[in-house]
Chain A
Amino acid sequence: MRKVIALGLAAATLTGGRMLADSERPSSARRAAATAQAPASDLIDYWTDGADVERSGWVRNEKILTKANVGTLKLKWKLETGNQPRALHGLMPVLVIGQLATSAGVKQVGIVNGISDNLYAFDVETGKMLWQKHWDYEAPAGAGGGGGPAPQDPRRLGFLRPGGSSDTPVIGPADAQGRRPVYFVTGDGMLHTLNAADGSDLQPPFKFFGGKGWALNLAGNTLWLQTTYAGASIAAVRLDDPDKKVMTWNAGSGGAWGRRGVAVDSTGTAWTTTGDGVYDLTSDPKRYANSVVGVQIDNGQMKLKDYYTPTNWEWLRKRDLDPNNTPTIFKYKGRELIAASGKECRLYLLDPESAGGENHQTPAYKTSLFCNEEVDFQDMGSWGALSSWEDPSGARWVLAPFWGPVHSQAKFPISYGPVKEGGVAAYKLVERGGKLELAPAWVSRDMKRGEPVLIVNGMVIGYGSGEETKQSWPDIGLVFDSSIRAAKGTRATIYVLDAITGKELWSSGDQIHQWNHFSGVTAVNGRIYLSTYEGTLYCFGVDSAAAATK
């Protein structure tokens, strides 16, 4: 039996939604809270993880956060949501609606979900909870390490299968009544359509798809869910379908791990990467692990449109170096392209019209390795998602987060000292001899486990998660119990870099007191959001006066 708990505005100070008392906040945060809001016309939405359906990570229309005022970023507030961690998961990336009519007036509203089937809405300006919902349902939800029985303590769940609601929601356009729907899949696979203003159901929930879901993507009327551990890699439903027919496609082998879910190209094809597993076209059904795959909906059926499998997939398989990032899709001189990467730590450039050529194994270009010289699936490689942007000169950039040291043979023209724990690698798309290449441009300063980035007004917003990523230790071997890793995490740190040079412009230093796992940074409307394992949401913002003179 499903039980839904909905708390209204007044409930923000109750149970898990404890707000910090004003006296608990840094004095700078108190000052910031007292400053005037930015002009409403400047406020935009950050409605989906990765900023758009192509998963560029490029927040194109940001009007407040600039290079000129980035140095004024201060902690505005932090909100303790009380979300119960499961395995290593806490909160997912924040979504923001620039202007939303609520019962308390028009507000800039943030939406964030917690792994334990929680959804929170907060007032961006004050950091106060507007509403929160929690769903209970009968397990199965999560599993122990290696598929064994789930432990009682959800923090000790196996890190591969946390159960719960791991998908980042997506916010749809306003309906006829001006209401903004929030689409969110709970751990039981139910799709909820909620009014962003108050959390009420706009539609009756229905069974969509379960598993370990990643960020939802809404392209037109089609809602996409990339998932794993559920018997399908990608699920989709047309929101205008009265029958709510769920369409799926299964890679047959290899999970889908790209954190921003699928990226959708201009033809409506959804692209993602398939993880560790077997590539075998002789099997029935065929298996497409270690690949970049594109699926499309044809006559109500989801079908594989095209794919690219690296020629060294057996090596990737052997060492668990699969492509595990959400690809990013962009246009260059009118031509649509895909960039993808993974734990092996090289970039692939693909043409969505023929992703791997006739043999499905020939990319338009692939870089040499830029990290993971150790060949380590756990502490190194590129994880999460790629990002892309176009600078004012028309140059196209691709940005890859990574863990561990830079490869000794990688040659970046610009660097900022030794990189041991991770960082961000920037490549520029160039043409040489009539062919496209991704040329190394810069590599960032060292970050403890570089995570997927956003690009805002010529700046790269990234962070080091501070997470302990090791899965096997010399003394205890391979252990799934997430609490062991959790105890070894440090702190997350946000970095703002110059997108052209990689130079550090600002960092959160030691202000965030804990690490996070597979979450994501959000930057919009002059504010940057990041959360921690224990469910604390941090909001940094530029000084309002500086914002006004941007």
Chain B
Amino acid sequence: MRTENRFGALTVVLLVAAAAALHAQGRGGAAWSTVGGDPQRTGWARTDPRISKESAVKPGLQLLWKRQLQKGAAALTQPVLLPNIIAYKGFKALANLGGPADTVYAIDSDLNRMFWETRLSSAAKGTMPACAGGSIAVTRAATLGAPAAGRGGRGQGGPPPPAAAAPGERGRGNGGFGGMFTVYAVSTTGMVHALNPQTGEDINPPAKFTGGSARLSGAVVIDNVVYAAVVEPCGGVASGVYAIDLTENANTVSSFDAKGARVAGALGPAFASDGTLFVATGASTGDATYANAIVALEARTLKAKDWFTAPAGFTSSPVVFTQGSRTLVAASNADGCVYVLDAATLGGADHRTPLAKSAQFSQAKDFAAGAITTWEDGGARWIAAATGGPLPGDAKFGQANGTVKSGGIVAFRLSGEGSSTTLEPAWTSRDVERPGAPIVLNGVVFAISAGAMGAGKGKSVLYAFDAATGKDLWNSGNAMGSYVPGVPPSAGDGQIYVVTADGTLYAFGIPLEH
């Protein structure tokens, strides 16, 4: 039985913070710019001013605050972070996320104060089809390059800065409105809203995007184009990927029809630096052309450029990263393996030949964490994924941290080049019950128990592991009162954010003295 994509049962809010990662000693840390952290969906926050594998142990991570945004069973989306906006009430660090009834929140993430809360004007007023699940998507503009030093500070003591503000200079002129800071939201009725990041008010009239009542994932804005995936056919909207070009209010929509194939994963399409999109799919209810595949799409037009077809459906959104001069794409599959593809030729001549394929690490056929994560450490490329049950008997990882019975995190180290590229099994974590998709923050892997798509029970626990060894560093114990409905955590500037099924947002981290 296919696992229900619990994202689809949520109000999906995807927010993209400024692409620039702010200087560690500036205002705020790296920006978690969209679901998955960046358009490449790496789930990797490269630096952090306070969280490290050392500080996770001592002084230790802790629950900083929690806020129940909706009472009862209320799905929230992954918070995305804007660590520094110069707003009309001062410098703010905002976490944006969505909730039921097309509600978008902006919360001062240092102080746990609501900055604004708005209900989209195009919110559904009648009953939605069951397949829709009441999803919205929210995002801000992102860039495809590597995170750059941000405008973190003010630095008024020095000589006049160059015309382009240097790192450490206050980024005045772009602090409050428009450009990189506009919040884009897609309502349950498929309308795109451009929201004032300071107030949540519409900047322009909403524009028709997907229309209907599609269930969205992975919304992101790149070069003034909003992209999002429609997870499965619903309400007359085909599954696939959609784009709307908002340049000068053109509002032209293009789409890639997956021909009935379900879009896999929680994070939608992933982007290469040239703008190419990669979308993973699962089984199809109709035409199998794009089923169980990773498809490369042209930017803006969304024309299919290439594809790779696997024996089974994918269970995660793709991640995109570079290895030397090559761009690689990776995703987890229902066969319990991670596939690595060369973005230049996804599956070779037969569209079925991956660059590398990991050893099997999962046997849970109904398990889908929704995402994998990838990071670099000392020049080594790592990929971590979740398994929803015991490891296969023949799985051999370099380091184990206990017996994996009900699930855990596994990590691979990418080695070799070209056709000799391999995924070397590196470590397994302690036992974690059906964990959700992991993320990585400054050398620490975070994962949530009962956090996989469709896990849906009990009370989740947030775990921290050493990204190099998988060693236990910390866990949240009984701090959370509900489970996490398939939404990976997000992180930045010393805090990790988790949403639970009872409508509560939790912030864990290392306190910053106020």
Contact = CB atoms under 8 A, between A and B. Distances in A.
A261 B162 CA distance: 27
Contacts of B154: 254-255, 275-277, 320
Contacts of A191: none
Interface string B149-177: 00001111111111101001110111111
Contacts of A318: 27-28, 84, 91, 93, 110, 512
Interface in B49-101: 49, 84, 86-91, 93
Number of contact residues on B: which range applies?
35 or more
Contacts of B87: 472, 474
Given A278-B25, A318-B28, A474-B199, A255 B156 contact: yes
B344 interface: no
Given A230-B159, A253-B155, A277-B156, A478 B173 contact: yes
Interface string A480-503: 100000000000000000000000
A250 B157 contact: yes
B111 interface: yes
B513 A253 contact: no
B88 A472 contact: yes
Label chain B's interface by main secondary structure. Answer: loop
B161 A254 contact: no
B165 A278 contact: no
A314 B175 contact: no
Nearest to A212: B156
B513 A228 contact: no
B374 interface: no
Nearest to A254: B157
A156 interface: no
B153 A317 contact: yes
B154 to A, nearest CB: 4
B125 interface: no
A231 interface: yes
A219 interface: no
B111 A375 contact: yes
Given A229-B156, A314-B49, A375-B111, A320 B172 contact: no
Label chain A's interface by main secondary structure. Answer: loop
A231 B158 contact: yes
Interface string A264-280: 00000000001111101
A473 B88 contact: yes
A525 interface: no
B176 A472 contact: yes
Contact of B172 (A145, A233, A475): A145
B2 interface: no
Contacts, number: 149
Interface centre among A149, A374, A478 (most CB of B within 10 A): A478
B196 interface: yes
Given A160-B156, A276-B156, A278-B25, A472 B163 contact: no
A275 B153 CA distance: 11
A477 B512 contact: no
A5 to B, nearest CB: 28
B173 A479 contact: yes
B160 A147 contact: yes
A230 B505 CA distance: 46
Nearest to A149: B163
B235 to A, nearest CB: 35
A471 interface: yes
B157 A480 contact: no
Contacts of A479: 173
B174 to A, nearest CB: 7
Interface in B173-193: 173-178, 181
B198 interface: yes
Contact of A320 (B90, B158, B514): B90
A147 B199 CA distance: 28
Given A145-B172, A477-B174, A477-B177, A319 B91 contact: yes
Contacts of B169: 147
Contacts of B168: 253, 277-278
A311 B25 CA distance: 15
Interface string B198-234: 1101000000000000000000000000000000000
Interface in B307-328: none
A87 interface: no
Nearest to A480: B172
Given A250-B157, A277-B155, A318-B84, 4 more contacts: A149-B163, A375-B111, A377-B90, A475-B196
8 contacts: A160-B156, A229-B160, A231-B159, A278-B155, A317-B25, A319-B27, A320-B91, A375-B111
Nearest 3 interchain pairs by C-beta: A477-B176, A255-B156, A376-B90
